Amino acid sequence: MAEPISGGGNFLSQHFRSTIVDFMKLSLFLFFILLESIIILKSQINNVPLYYHLVIIASFIVLLLYLFKSPAVYVADYVCYTPPSSCRVPFATFVEHLQLMGSFDGKSVGFMEKILRNSGLSEETYLPPGVFYLPPIMDHREAISEVHMVLFPIFEELLSRNGLCPKDIDILVVNCSGFCPDPSLSAIVVNHFCMREDVKSFNLTGMGCSGNTVAVDMVRNMMIAHPHRRCNAVVLSTEILTTGWYRGKERPFMVLNCIFRMGGAAVLLSNKLEAKNTAKYKLIWTLRTQGAFDDRRYNAAFRDEDAEGVTGMRLNGDVLHVAGETLQSHIPILGARFLPFTEIILFLVSALKKKFLDKSMEIYVPNFKSAIQHFCFPATGKSVVRETAKRLKLGEEDMEPALMTVYRYGNQSSASLWYELAYLEAKDRVKKGDKVWLLGMGTGPKCNSLVLQCIKPILSGTSKNPWDDFIHKYPVRVP
């Protein structure tokens, strides 16, 4: 454990430096205004040519642009959690525990077994230790134990792999949708690692499978808002399942028991100058849209109580359709930023034709592969993955990272995207200059995108990867 340090001096030092930088910018601005005013006055006497002033003004503008330029934000590294083999839950074990728990009748067990076998999950996924007890231990203390089990190792590995210690982290964001203890998860991490007094810590809940992308966007915005503060940020993402297990009798609540599995990811972001030489990726764009203004979409996935007062996550029958609608409103904004001009024109022409000429015609779906090389979709289940790929007109290889993540690890909520990126790296598919689209979709509903660009060659085996021991077995056929 790191030794506690006094953060007050560091905070005052940072505040003093930022004040000095702002003062210098303002002074420089006023100096150039004064200098140019003097030159203009003298030129009226000496008849100095106009181009002389234009050169000075242009130089002044270039200098201002340089001073106020937002620093690049880099994804320096990331780590994915691999649970111990003792937490593995084959289908037979899962079904047997459902039968022995005493919470479910035969029809409910049969329903969940059917969901499990059709979900695209394999026999290799994991559940937390508390679920394996009979009866299951799903209290607060066991949930905190799961937090320690998942978040602490990946945070430690991320720091050690990059030669950092806890006091080097300036921003910490922890996101977990369903479990919200007090003190918060971020406070638990700060306490365990004795982080700095002035570390900016945040705890996000209720964001569903989009939580990680929301957290990364939030970090990016903070770094852009304070460009003179060069800092390191860590985003920790997980879903604590110990307290999220539904033990009631209503089927719309049972689905998440079958597809959510244990996992987590730690992501290191930085806007420091040296990160350009060490980071894997540059974060070139983020986008967030949502559909919470629409009651039907808002209620598609909802944490609620059943008729007997048992709390769980209810999925309505049109959740897949709602996900498609949310994605459809998200695509044009992202496409306008990255697609070639020809693809944008084709899309606009087809949209106008549909509106004014033939309302039955389909709108042209742009070829995203003309601008982006790799795709990481929400790993909610094989149906959602295939529906997403269908709406984007993408093929089997584009779906492969998401389908294989669902198959091998299940749905780890927003952390799944980083398992998918790790799959691409393990397959040596990501080349320098390639763009990767990470798409997060969560309750609300929300649709969020991160676009990364690989800035250095990535070779499998150079760093620990959750796929290292069995990547040669994949892909497998998912019916």
**pLDDT tens-digit series, residues 404-448:** 999 999 999 999 999 999 999 999 999 999 999 999 988 888 899
- Does 151 share its domain with 299? no
Does residue 2 belong to any structural domain of this protein? no
In a domain, 478, yes or no: no
272 and 289 both lie in a single domain: no
Residue 444 within a domain: yes
Helix (H) or strand (E) holding 79: strand 73-80
Structure tokens at 375: 């795709």
Q: Please indicate, yes or no, if residue 3 is contained in any of the structural domains.
A: no
**Domain termination residue (choose one: 29, 46, 67):** 67
Domain residue limits at 366: 284-473
297 and 335 in a common domain: yes
CB-facing half-sphere around the CA of 464: CA atoms within 13 A: 12
CA–CA dist 27, 32 (Å, integer): 9
Same domain, 129 and 23: no
- Helix residue ranges per DSSP H, 392-460: 396-409, 416-426
Mean pLDDT of 296-307: 86
Q: Does residue 292 share a domain with residue 271?
A: no
Q: Are residues 343 and 461 in the same domain?
A: yes
C-alpha span between 424 and 430 (Å, rounded): 6
Same domain, 365 and 412: yes
pLDDT over threshold 70, residue 71 = yes
Our count of domains for the chain comes to 3
pTM of the model as a whole: 0.85
Beta bridge partners of 312: 304
Omega into 166 within 30° of 0, i.e. cis? Answer: no
Distance of alpha carbon 11 from alpha carbon 71, whole angstroms: 21
**Residue 411 vs residue 321, higher pLDDT:** 411
9 compared with 250, residue with greater pLDDT:
250
Whole-number Å distance between alpha carbons of 327 and 440: 10
Does residue 6 register a pLDDT over 60?
no
| Rounded Cα–Cα distance for residues 120 and 241 (Å) | 19
Please tell me the predicted confidence (pLDDT) of residue 197: 92
Quick check: 298 and 291 in contact, CB under 8 A? yes
- Asked if residue 224 and residue 108 are part of one domain, the reply reads yes
Question: Is the same domain home to 169 and 45?
Answer: no
> Over the chain, what is the mean pLDDT?
85
What pLDDT is attached to residue 221? 92
Residues 32 and 108 in one domain: no
